Structure 1
Amino acid sequence: MPIPSRRGVLFGGAAVAAGALATACTGNDPADDAPAAQSAAGGGDNEKPGRAVTIGFSAPAADHGWIAAITKNAQAQAKRYSDVTFRAVEPTNDINQQISAVESLISAKVNALVLLPNDGQQLNQVARKAMDAGIPVVNLDRIFPDKLSYRTWIGGDNYGMGVAAGHYVGRRLKEKGVAKPVIVEIQGIATLPLTQERSKGFADALKTHGFSVTAKQDAKFTVETGNQVAANLLQAHKKIDALWNHDDDQGVGVLAAIKQAGRKEFFMVGGAGSANAMREIKAGGLLEATVTYSPSMAASAVKVARLVAQGRGMTDLVELQAPQSITLASETVTRQNVDSYLPIGFES
C-alpha cells in the first residue's frame, strides 16, 4: 500500500449518501468496460458537456498493484468526458522528478491538477505553486500539510479500515464461541501514520467485542516481506484464531506462507480490496473478507477536478461548490457481496 495520510469529511457515510459523488459527477459519454466507470449513473446537468478543460495528472511509478490501479482509474474516467483533455506526466518514485513534472504542468497552464504525491510534505511547495498560479489542485490520497496547497483532498479512511476489520473479526469470533482468541495482525510499514491509524481502528473495534491483538508485525507492503513475516508469525504461534493483513498486495505473500505451512485453523481478513483477494474470498477459502481502500478514488478525483475547473458543484449537494475534502468509506467485502465488488477490484 502507498504512503498516505487520510483526513476529511466522511463521504458515503452518515452525512452524504454513498452514491452521491458517483451520481453527481457523471460522464457524458457511454460507459466503457473500465473498472472506474462501473458505478457511474446519471447526474443531472453535470452529465452534460461543459467548458473544455485540461486536467494534469501526476502519480508515483506503478510498482504496486494499488498504485497501478490509481493511474488506470484516472485515465479511464477522463476518457469518459468529451470536454476533458487528460495530460499525464511520466510516473516516478523520485521526488525531484515528480516536482519537475508538476512544474511542467503548471507551465502548460492546465485548468486543474490531480496529484498523488510520493510524499505530501516534500511536494507541498510545488502544489502551493500551482494553487498560487490559479490552478486548482485535487490532492489524491497522500495529503499536503498546507491546506492552501490544494482545493480538494480525496482519499480513503485508514482508521475506518481498521474498524471494519476489527468488527468483522470480533463478530466472527463471537459466532464461533472463542473466549480467549489469538489474533494476529500483519501491518504495512509500522512507522507510517496510515499504518498506525489502521492499527488503532482495529484495536478500538476489537475492544468493543472484549478482544485485543495478540501479536503484530509489519511487512513493508511487499509480497516477499509479507511471505517472510507470515511464516515467522505462524512459527511463533502454533494456534491462531484470526489474522488481519493490512494490504492485499502483500497478502499474496501472506497467503502463500499460510498455504505452504498447511495451516487451516483460523480465518483471515485482508485490506484494500484487490481482485486477487476477492477471488480468494469467492472460492470460500481461509480468506473470508477484505476491507476496501479502493483506487477508484482516482476516478472520483478526476470527476471533482473537472467540476472544479468548470466552476460546477455536485448536483446532489445543496452547496454550489465541490467539498474541500472527501473521505471514502471502508467497506467490508465478504462471500455474500463479493460479486458486486469484483468489477472495481484491482489486480495485485
Structure 2
Amino acid sequence: MTTITTQDYSIYFNNNSYKALNKHLKKLKYSKVFILCDTNTNIDCVPFLLANIDTDITYDILEIDPGEESKNLDICLGLWETLSEYGADRKSVIINVGGGVVTDLGGFVASTFKRGIDFINIPTSLLAMVDASIGGKTGIDLGSLKNQIGVISTPELIVVDTSFLGTLPQLEMRSGLAEMLKHGLIYDESYWNKLQDLSESTIDDLDALIYESIIIKKNIVEQDPTEQNLRKTLNYGHTLGHAIESYFMENDTKKRLLHGEAIAIGIILANYLSVKYCGFSENKSNSIKAIIKAIYGHVEINETDYTPIVELLKYDKKNEHGNINFVLLEAIGKPKTDCIVENEAILEAFKFYDA
C-alpha cells in the first residue's frame, strides 16, 4: 500500500512503515522514547515493534489496563507523573501502541505534557487504524461521557501494520467495521456496497478496504480539520451511538457495548431520522438496518431505557446554543449536518430499531 501523505503527517503501511519510523527517530534525535501500551498490546505487539526499531535511544514502556475505563484524568495524571519521574523533556517522544483508547489517551498526554511533545501512533485495532488514530483528535472521557476533554493535535507519523489485526478477537474486528460502514454511508455508496458481505474477502481485500477507509477520513479531515462543518459528518451515527455506549457503560444491569456495537445501533437510528427529516429512502433505510443487524445482531433496549439515553444527548460535543445537532443522510454519500430532531422522533427511531 502506498504511503498516504496528509497536510501534517504521513501514514505508512506494513513493511515500509518501520523503515519510515526508524528514519524519523534518527532524524529527530529524540532524548528519550516512551512506548505507551495496554497489557494486551504489551504482550502481543510491543515485542514485534522493538524487534523492528533500530535506534540507540533509551526507551521506557508505560503500560495501562485495557478498555475504555482507562481513558480518564486519573490515568493521565499517573502518566504525566511517570514521564516527569523518568526524565521526559520536550525532546522526548511517545509512541502509542494500541487501539483507540491508547491513541486517544496517549495523544492527549503527549499534547499537554510540557505544553506538547511529539507522539507517534501505531494503531493495533481495526477501529484505531481506520478512525481513532487519524485526524488529530485526542482526548479522554469525563466519567461515562465519551471524549469530553481533549485537543486536536496531530501525530508525527502513523504506522499501520495490518498484521496486528491477527491478535484481535472477532468482536473487536466487528467493532472497527462499524466505522468503515459509516465511511461508506456518508461518503461513497460504492464503498458501502463493498462492505456488505466480507465472507469471501482475503487479507489483501481487507487491506484494500482499510486503505480506502483511511483515504475517506483523510479527505474529510483535510477539508475541515477543526470540525466547523464537513468533519461533523464523521459523527454520523455517533450522537445516539455515544449516548447508548455511555448509558450501557454506567448501568450495571446492562452488558457493556464496544464502541462499534453502539455506533451500529446509532446508524440504524440515524437512518430512521434521515427518512423522517431528510427524505432518505425508506427502502434503503430498511436494507441498511437488515445488513447491520446481520453483522451485529440485536441489542435489547427497553422502553424504560429510552428517556435516560435521550437525556445523555445534552452532553454531545456537536451541540450548539442548547440545540442537539444530528448528522443525517439525504442519500448515501450525501450527509447533512446540524439537523435538529424532536424527542418524539427519537423514541420512534428506537421502536424502528426494535422492530
Q: TM-score, normalised by structure 1?
A: 0.36
Q: Which has the higher contact order (CA 8 A, sep 6+)?
A: 1
Structure 1 or 2: more helix by fraction = 2
